[in-house]
Chain A
Amino acid sequence: MAIFSVYVVNKAGGLIYQLDHYAPRADTEKTFSFPLDLVLRPHDERVVVAFGQRDGIRVGHAVLAINGAEVNGRFTADGKDVLEFLGNPANYPVSIRFGRHRLSSNEKLMLASMFHSLFAIGSQLSPEVGSSGIEMLETDTFKLHCFQTLTGIKFMVLADPRQTGIDALLRKIYEIYSDFALKNPFYSLEMPIR
């Protein structure tokens, strides 16, 4: 899938709409014996691979399930701490599933506000006067395109780096927003869009 997500952010930086369209995640499940040759560390509310990339398990992948049971953040399904569990040789051999974590709605809200500030600072740091905010942010796995309307609403699209035509897509999304959200008498401005 070339378009990964769409985010709509209001004037204050709050996320009012979000759509995810990821390709099915490539999870890797493997059986391990003690000692574990991957280095794991806690990151936010997850346990993440820090070192020891191999066989489809990459740095940054999170522990998704242990022995088939999905983990709950940093704790296993029955409430034990994941790192403690994996440090105990009595629990081996163990089967662990790794993969890219799915962002929770809270994390998406936080990232949307973070981008809102980055966008504003981007325009202030400009070496030339009259710069807009960030229009496109590029990494090696995705490109984030952002279009800010005259009223301060930002439409952001996360897409494959090779994808073209995103500008037209952003304007089309704006058109759809104004047709369906703004012309709806029951919709209040700046509120989450249903």
Chain B
Amino acid sequence: PQDWEGRGIFGNSRNSRYFSGSLSCPRRDGFVSFHTSKYRLHYLETPSGLRLVLNTDLGVPSAREALQHIYSNLFVELVVKNPLCPPRAPVQSLLFRQRLDAFVRSLPYFGPRNP
């Protein structure tokens, strides 16, 4: 179910970040990603405490620029600067969803890999 997955990802990424932080002093980024045999989870935390998570297949080594673009150019422009979007509430903005969808589809690694 949608909600459980969201909470699972939230808890897991928060604990991964704490775990990484305990094992060493973060230089700049802290916890960046982890992968299993089937997928890779990419993580970006902004200084304001917002966390972005992207799941891809194993062929994608780094999605940092994509996450940074989603934050700076989509989230900040369309949600933060939108007077009708209350801060820290679930995002309802249709424009944000559409632009995010279009951006993700435009990523070079979006489509299934050719066998």
The complex places the Cα of A121 from the Cα of B25 at a distance, in Å, of 25
* A131/B39 in contact, CB under 8 A: yes
* A138/B32 in contact, CB under 8 A: yes
Q: How far is the CB of A51 from chain B (nearest CB, A)?
A: 12
Closest residue on chain A to residue B38 by CB atoms: A131
* A126/B25 in contact, CB under 8 A: no
**Given known contacts A60-B21, A130-B38, is B12 in contact with A125 (CB within 8 Å)?**
yes
* A61/B25 in contact, CB under 8 A: yes
* A137/B37 in contact, CB under 8 A: no
* A58/B15 in contact, CB under 8 A: no
* B12/A122 in contact, CB under 8 A: yes
Interface of A is mostly: loop
The complex places the Cα of A162 from the Cα of B2 at a distance, in Å, of 36
**Given known contacts A121-B8, A125-B8, A127-B55, is B25 in contact with A137 (CB within 8 Å)?**
no
B22 on interface, CB distance cutoff 8 Å: yes
How many B residues have CB within 8 A of the partner chain?
32
Q: Which residues between 12 and 42 of chain B lie within 8 Å of chain A, taking CB atoms?
A: 12, 15-16, 18-39, 41
* A133/B36 in contact, CB under 8 A: yes
* B34/A142 in contact, CB under 8 A: no
* A139/B36 in contact, CB under 8 A: no
**Residues in B neighbouring A118, C-beta threshold 8 A:** 12, 15-16, 19
Known: A131-B39, A139-B30, A142-B20. 6 other contacts (CB 8 A): A59-B26, A117-B15, A125-B9, A125-B41, A131-B37, A138-B32
4 closest A-B pairs by CB: A60-B25, A131-B38, A132-B37, A137-B34
Interface residues of B (CB under 8 A from A): 5, 8-9, 11-12, 15-16, 18-39, 41, 55, 57
Q: 7 A-B Cβ contacts within 8 A?
A: A103-B23, A125-B12, A126-B36, A128-B38, A131-B36, A132-B36, A139-B30
Interface residues of A (CB under 8 A from B): 58-61, 100, 103, 107, 111, 114-115, 117-118, 121-142, 144, 158
